[in-house]
Amino acid sequence: MAELLAPLRSRYFISGEINSTVADVAAALARLEAQFADGEVTKLDGISVDYDRWHFNVRPSNTEPLVRLNLGADSRGLMEEKRDLVLGVIRED
């Protein structure tokens, strides 16, 4: 399996799931929708936003006052930059 995934891992960089405790989950999701309205926004499970070179999903926990971020990009630098940007919006509380 590792051999099969190696070409993908060298091409796509994924943040892994990052949990953030927030005072108001709905407000955090609304901030994300407003900030990233220029991307392709879907709200099937939380909020997902797609751009040409990166994308993210933020979904609320069913049991805790937190949201879970998963973000992917086509370079490590872009992933780290966008991860920090999205986390900044999430954690504005």
SS3 assignment, position 58: strand
Only one residue has tokens 């943040």, namely 15
Provide the H-helix boundaries in the chain: 2-9, 25-35, 76-90
Nearest residue to 86 via CA among 12, 65, 51, 61: 51
* Whole-structure pTM value: 0.88
The pair of structure tokens assigned to 20 is 């953030």
**Residue 70 in this model has a pLDDT that exceeds 60:** yes
Q: What are phi and psi of 42, to 5 degrees?
A: -130, 150
Predicted confidence (pLDDT) per residue in 9-31, tens digit: 566 799 999 999 999 999 999 99
